[in-house]
């Protein structure tokens, strides 16, 4: 017999307050409510345990608090509250629960039979998406709310997560390589376009010609209009497949200073996407900004560009751009600014006669910079016959200091820990860097390795990149073969536990200027960063970014891809909160930092943050198991 209509309506109204039920079709939510039974569990009573065998029902907490316990986690490791569900993984896999779930208070749970659970998965796409991609689904819901929040300050536009095919406005206008320039210009005039693609007989792109090229390559040099297009085009244009995402085009435009990206599938031209297509409604465009950086002639110009980078970050946040994309674009533009600072200083000095490479460490090395970031950098140089490291270092250090101070002027504060190229400790020859890393790997104590961890994230930024490549290859060969070092790095990574509480949702500072807050960087994103670093160094992965390291190391460590993606989604949600928090404080005229009061979060974000911290505990549990910490 089905439940009374009034009871079903009340159950539907209650469930509709929580994800994923708030996104389900009314008929599917009513179907669920009709099949739910209500269970009661007294305080300290075991609701579910591994000993009970294959899980036979889904639990949805109606009232009270459930505590999850695992012996491997040292007892209690999570709390579940009203509206939360368990144990999804066990139900999906048709296996026993891994944790013991105990009522921490008197608890009422809605309960759904396993057969009905699997039927509902087929009926309701939002329910299935939530159950199979839990953290990712919650994150998407939060991003939608962020976009709605900022919609009043920035006009909506196409998401940078969209495929490039969705941005193509028209069929590309093309010409052959032997077509006279005059005819190509007439075609551009007739089509009312500012660019034309030069293709071969098979529609494979050979080059690009724009109105900007007309001035520099035709008008000023006085080129004859009968000249074939192959002689005036920009050859070997950058192409992306039409399935690539818009943010990949934005990155390519930023890195190379182009205003157009060609789409090619199977080698054949399928479309053209311009900067205007990507950023038509933004005050600052990524290519406009990268061009301004490249053309900056002095420090004041670079300071204005740095302000524009921040503004671009604000605009992208307002559009709901995913944090993975946003941090990569910000880091790419910051890279360009750093490169231009170095170019200007080298032009004013003869120090660049030395072969050297500027290294980025920490968040810049990982392509994970947020709106608030300081400097972590160094130099690696080559010794020529007859030169000593001390002599070359003495030449480079004064210029390195001017570069560091110029970056400080541009909004990248000097590193409080003095991890900068102007510090003689981090301006080293290739052999000196190898010795420094060898000391850490072979004989470093836990405290030394803790302080050295960000150096293992190095990435070449300017100069002789082969130096960084050689150092990376040497380093990975050494780390893979040194289990003692990996064990110590894992032990260090486990020092910093996610701030999940048992009495309340989160562990926060109890007193002082940081009372009632937690540090999203130290306690939130760092556990993922540290674990990914260890996995990469253990498996020989060359990538430095956290997500790239996890995705590359996961298969080598036999970690299921779904588990890896859950970790990455959790990491990027914490990054999103950091970006939003920094932006909010900047708008309020406050110093930007990574501290939040979790009580200031809305219910959805509090729930996702709890889930993200649980994922951090899971990645740490894997680390502890693999390295017997």
- What would the two tokens of residue 32 be? 């669920």
Give domain status of residue 430, yes or no: yes
Instruction: List Cα–Cα distances, 326 to 160, 312, 313, 320, 329, in angstroms.
Output: 9, 9, 7, 10, 5
Does 514 lie in the same domain as 394? no
Distance, in Å, from the CA atom of 37 to the CA atom of 366, rounded to the nearest integer, reads 49
Give domain status of residue 437, yes or no: yes
Does 401 lie in the same domain as 378? yes
Give domain status of residue 324, yes or no: no
Distance, in Å, from the CA atom of 242 to the CA atom of 263, rounded to the nearest integer, reads 5
**What is the greatest pairwise CA distance in the chain?**
93
Give domain status of residue 372, yes or no: yes
- What would the two tokens of residue 49 be? 């345990």
For 292, other C-beta atoms within 10 Å of its C-beta total: 19
- What would the two tokens of residue 263 be? 């789409």
- What would the two tokens of residue 621 be? 């549990």
Q: Per-10-residue mean pLDDT for the chain, 629 residues long?
A: 75 90 92 95 94 94 88 62 87 85 94 96 89 66 58 47 79 94 92 90 94 86 93 91 88 83 93 77 63 86 86 73 81 91 87 86 90 89 92 94 94 92 97 96 84 93 93 96 94 89 73 89 94 97 96 94 89 90 83 91 84 91 89
Report pLDDT for 325.
Answer: 81
Asked which of 111, 132, 153 is the last residue of a domain, the reply is 132
Give the CATH number of the domain where residue 428 resides.
Answer: 3.30.460.10
Query: Does an H or E element contain 481, and which?
Result: none
Give domain status of residue 297, yes or no: no
Report pLDDT for 403.
Answer: 95
What is the DSSP track for 516-529?
T-EEIIIIIIHHHH
Q: How many domains does the chain have?
A: 4
Sign of CA dihedral 258, 263, 266, 269: negative
Does 93 lie in the same domain as 181? no
Q: CB under 8 Å, gap of 24 or more: what pairs does 413-420 form?
A: 413/374, 413/375, 414/374, 414/375, 415/374, 415/375, 415/376, 416/374, 417/451, 419/361, 419/362, 419/375, 419/376, 419/377, 419/378, 419/454, 419/455, 420/375, 420/376, 420/377, 420/378
Does 524 lie in the same domain as 474? no
| 461 phi, psi to nearest 5 deg | -120, -45
Q: CB under 8 Å, gap of 24 or more: what pairs does 256-261 form?
A: 257/287, 257/290, 257/291, 257/294, 258/287, 259/210, 259/212, 259/287, 260/195, 260/208, 260/210, 261/164
| 453 phi, psi to nearest 5 deg | -55, -40
Give domain status of residue 28, yes or no: yes
Distance, in Å, from the CA atom of 363 to the CA atom of 532, rounded to the nearest integer, reads 13
Report pLDDT for 287.
Answer: 72
Distance, in Å, from the CA atom of 257 to the CA atom of 286, rounded to the nearest integer, reads 9
Distance, in Å, from the CA atom of 18 to the CA atom of 611, rounded to the nearest integer, reads 14
Report pLDDT for 542.
Answer: 95
Does 581 lie in the same domain as 455? no
Report pLDDT for 282.
Answer: 46
Does 202 lie in the same domain as 75? no
Instruction: List Cα–Cα distances, 187 to 190, 193, 601, in angstroms.
Output: 5, 9, 56
Give the CATH number of the domain where residue 94 resides.
Answer: 2.60.120.10
Distance, in Å, from the CA atom of 232 to the CA atom of 217, rounded to the nearest integer, reads 6
Query: Does an H or E element contain 436, and which?
Result: helix 430-443
| 184 phi, psi to nearest 5 deg | -65, -40
Does 227 lie in the same domain as 168? yes
Three-point CA angle 407, 411, 417, nearest 5° = 70
Sign of CA dihedral 33, 37, 38, 43: negative
Asked whether the beta carbons of 524 and 614 are under 8 A apart, the reply is no
Asked whether the beta carbons of 536 and 549 are under 8 A apart, the reply is yes
Distance, in Å, from the CA atom of 125 to the CA atom of 131, rounded to the nearest integer, reads 10
Asked whether the beta carbons of 134 and 611 are under 8 A apart, the reply is yes
Give domain status of residue 288, yes or no: no
The 3-state DSSP class for residue 431 equals helix
Give domain status of residue 322, yes or no: no
Does 97 lie in the same domain as 33? yes
Give the CATH number of the domain where residue 207 resides.
Answer: 3.10.580.10
Does 542 lie in the same domain as 510? yes
* Owning domain of residue 384: 335-481
Asked which of 481, 498, 520 is the last residue of a domain, the reply is 481
Three-point CA angle 26, 27, 33, nearest 5° = 90
Picking from 331, 336, 321, the residue whose alpha carbon sits closest to that of residue 288 is 336
What is the DSSP track for 321-352?
--HHHHHHHHHHHHHHHHHHHHHHHHHT-SGG
Picking from 299, 273, 298, 297, the residue whose alpha carbon sits closest to that of residue 286 is 273
Distance, in Å, from the CA atom of 3 to the CA atom of 168, rounded to the nearest integer, reads 53
- Range 580-599 burial, b when 16+ CB lie within 10 A, else e: bbbbebbeeeeebbbbbebe
Does 452 lie in the same domain as 341? yes
Asked which of 433, 462, 481 is the last residue of a domain, the reply is 481
Does 96 lie in the same domain as 187? no
Does 572 lie in the same domain as 472? no
């Amino acid at each position: 017999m089905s439940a009374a209509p009034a009871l079903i309506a009340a159950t539907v109204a209650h469930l509709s307050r929580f994800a994923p039920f708030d996104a389900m079709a009314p008929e599917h939510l009513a179907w669920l409510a009709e099949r739910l039974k209500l269970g009661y569990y007294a305080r300290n009573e075991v609701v579910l345990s591994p000993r009970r065998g294959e899980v036979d029902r889904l639990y949805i907490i109606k009232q009270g608090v459930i505590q999850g316990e695992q012996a491997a986690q040292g007892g209690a490791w999570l709390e579940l509250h009203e509206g939360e569900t368990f144990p999804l993984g066990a139900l999906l896999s048709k296996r026993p629960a891994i944790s013991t779930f105990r009522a921490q208070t008197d608890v009422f749970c809605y309960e759904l039979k396993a057969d009905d659970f699997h039927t509902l998965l087929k009926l309701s796409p939002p329910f299935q998406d939530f159950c199979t991609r839990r953290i990712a689904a919650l994150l998407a819901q939060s991003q939608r709310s962020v976009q709605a929040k900022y919609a009043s300050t920035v006009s909506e536009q196409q998401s940078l997560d969209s495929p490039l095919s969705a941005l193509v406005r028209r069929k590309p206008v093309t010409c052959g390589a032997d077509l006279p320039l005059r005819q190509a210009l007439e075609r551009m005039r007739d089509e009312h376009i500012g660019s034309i693609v030069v293709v071969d007989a098979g529609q494979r792109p050979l080059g690009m010609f724009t109105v900007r090229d007309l001035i520099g390559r035709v008008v000023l040099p006085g080129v004859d209009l009968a000249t074939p297009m192959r002689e005036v085009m920009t050859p070997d244009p950058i192409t992306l497949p039409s399935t690539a995402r818009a943010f990949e085009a934005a990155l390519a435009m930023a890195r190379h200073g182009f205003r157009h990206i060609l789409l090619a599938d199977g080698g054949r031209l399928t479309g053209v996407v311009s900067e205007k297509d990507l950023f038509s409604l933004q005050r600052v465009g990524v290519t406009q900004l990268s061009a301004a950086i490249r053309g900056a002639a002095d420090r004041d110009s670079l300071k204005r560009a740095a302000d524009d980078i921040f503004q671009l970050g604000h605009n992208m946040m307002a559009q709901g751009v995913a944090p993975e994309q946003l941090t990569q674009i910000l880091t790419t533009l910051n890279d360009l600014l750093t490169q231009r600072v170095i170019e200007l200083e080298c032009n004013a000095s003869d120090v660049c006669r030395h072969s050297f490479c500027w290294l980025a460490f920490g968040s810049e090395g990982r392509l994970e910079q947020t709106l608030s970031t300081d400097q972590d950098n160094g130099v690696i140089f080559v010794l020529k016959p007859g030169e000593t490291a001390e002599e070359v270092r003495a030449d480079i250090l004064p210029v390195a200091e001017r570069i560091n101070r110029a970056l400080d002027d541009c909004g990248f504060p000097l590193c409080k820990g003095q991890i900068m190229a102007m510090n003689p400790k981090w301006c080293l020859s290739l052999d000196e860097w190898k010795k420094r890393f060898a000391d850490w790997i072979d004989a470093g104590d836990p405290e030394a390795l803790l302080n050295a961890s960000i150096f293992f994230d190095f990435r070449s930024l300017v100069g002789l990149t082969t130096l960084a490549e050689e150092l990376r290859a040497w380093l990975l060969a050494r780390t893979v073969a040194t289990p003692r070092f990996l064990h110590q790095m894992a032990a260090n990574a486990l020092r910093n536990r996610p701030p999940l509480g048992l009495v309340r949702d989160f562990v926060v500072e109890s007193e002082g200027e940081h009372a009632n807050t937690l540090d999203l960087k130290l306690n939130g994103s760092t556990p993922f960063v540290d674990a990914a670093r260890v996995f990469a160094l253990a498996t020989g992965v060359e990538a430095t970014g956290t997500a790239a390291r996890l995705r590359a190391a996961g298969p080598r460590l036999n970690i299921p891809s779904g588990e890896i993606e859950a970790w990455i989604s959790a990491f990027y949600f914490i990054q999103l909160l950091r970006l939003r928090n920094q932006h909010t404080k900047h708008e309020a005229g406050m110093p930007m930092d990574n501290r939040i009061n979790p009580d200031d979060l809305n219910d959805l974000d509090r729930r996702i943050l709890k889930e993200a911290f649980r994922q951090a505990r899971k990645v740490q549990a894997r680390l502890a198991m693999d390295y017997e910490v």
